[in-house]
Amino acid sequence: MQGIINTAKELIDRYNIGESIKIMEVCGSHTMAISKYGLRQILPPNIKLISGPGCPVCVTAQNEIDASISLASQGVTIATFGDLVRVPGNNSSLQEERAKGRNVRVFYSPLDALDYAIANPSKEVVFIGIGFETTIPSVALTIKEAYTKKIKNYSVYCLHKTMPKALEALVVNGSDIQGFLLPGHVAAITGSTIYNFLVDKYKIGGVVSGFEASDILMSVVMILKNLRDPKIEIQYKRVVKEEGNTDAQSLIEEVFEESDAEWRGLGMIEGSGLKIREKYSEYDAEKKFNIKKPNSSTEIKGCRCGDVLKGIITPKQCPLFGKACTPLNPVGPCMVSSEGSCAAYYKYGE
């Protein structure tokens, strides 16, 4: 491993043109790995790795959090991934609702939530569907199975988001990013060609990267090497194919269709989310429970998560970082989530 890292460092020095270069690591798992291995400190000072909007819990809009909390108070069983329960809403959190006796359950897989619904037919179970293309196929599978087996007490509150339009929104809104470290797990499903627009329209390259220190450093080398002739390339070839996983893509396509989505910090982005197709509408919790999101998201007072997610500031530039906001007492989702930038910077002392 050390040999690969040394080679990567030599190559980075060879291709380093000395200009200030900003590379965005889009994915929360990359942020964690970069902090864990201390990679920001290894790079020359002119090459900056900045965090992006790839943490699913962090980008879930505040009004979506509030609507989920409100749903818990209606007597349904909320099924969700662990980190989401700790995200503060404007007046409560799912964790606080659970302490008040509401039925809020954490599952590692959406299929476990469906199994729970099947085993408890008297309970209405709503799975809070957050996440990107990595988790979307498994949620689609639960909806398809519930439909096939005629399960009537399971539905999904679909808050899923998709990555390309969010990256485009960042670029269009004037970020000075010169390259993207693209999420390996997302690309395992989507393939890499969905990012070609970054080169074709904006002349910005990117590399689909793995998650080991050597993967990330080699991806940085590839970005630097192609700065003058940007490309979309795959470093994580042991997992990602250019065309992605076509079975998973078909499953997503069958159950969901494109819709607009609201992102924390980035606002409403056209075509950056999914909604459940009409065929499966009885599994759409938004329709089933007539969920009304508050019209606009009021951000948590003092929390700069939105700016962290856009790469405008680093977590340490938030005045609350490490003071009022710590993993034990998180103020915002970027400190709650195990993929959040603030949590990564705090945990590894960056």
Binding mask 328-347 for ligand SF4 (x = CB under 6 A): ---xx-xx------x-----
Our CB check for ligand SF4 shows the closer of 125 and 334 to be 334
Site for ligand SF4 in 78-137 (CB under 6 A): none
Tell me, by CB under 6 A, how many residues bind ligand SF4: 14
Q: Which stretch, 15-23, 213-221, 256-264, 324-332, contacts ligand SF4 (CB under 6 A)? A: 324-332
Under the binding rule (CB under 6 A), the answer on residue 308 touching ligand SF4 is yes
Interface pick for ligand SF4 out of 314, 321, 339, 344 (rule CB under 6 A): 321
Q: Which stretch, 88-96, 268-276, 284-292, 317-325, contacts ligand SF4 (CB under 6 A)? A: 317-325
Of 125, 120, 65, 124, the residue nearest 96 (C-alpha): 65
Tell me how far CA of residue 67 lies from CA of 93, 159, 221, 315, in angstroms: 11, 11, 43, 27
Under the binding rule (CB under 6 A), the answer on residue 325 touching ligand SF4 is yes
Of 318, 321, 329, the residue nearest 88 (C-alpha): 329
- Dmax (CA) for the chain in angstroms is 65
Residue 265: left (phi > 0), alpha (psi -120 to 50), or beta?
A: left
Our CB check for ligand SF4 shows the closer of 221 and 334 to be 334
Residue 262, beta-bridge partner list: 268
Our CB check for ligand SF4 shows the closer of 192 and 341 to be 341
Pinpoint the alpha helices (H) of the chain: 2-15, 28-36, 39-42, 56-59, 62-72, 94-99, 110-119, 136-148, 163-172, 184-190, 196-202, 213-225, 246-255, 285-288, 305-309, 333-336, 341-347
DSSP tag of 284: B
Under the binding rule (CB under 6 A), the answer on residue 140 touching ligand SF4 is no
Q: Which stretch, 173-181, 188-196, 254-262, 297-305, contacts ligand SF4 (CB under 6 A)? A: 297-305
| Binding-site ranges for ligand SF4 (CB under 6 A) | 303-305, 308, 315, 318, 320-321, 325, 331-332, 334-335, 342
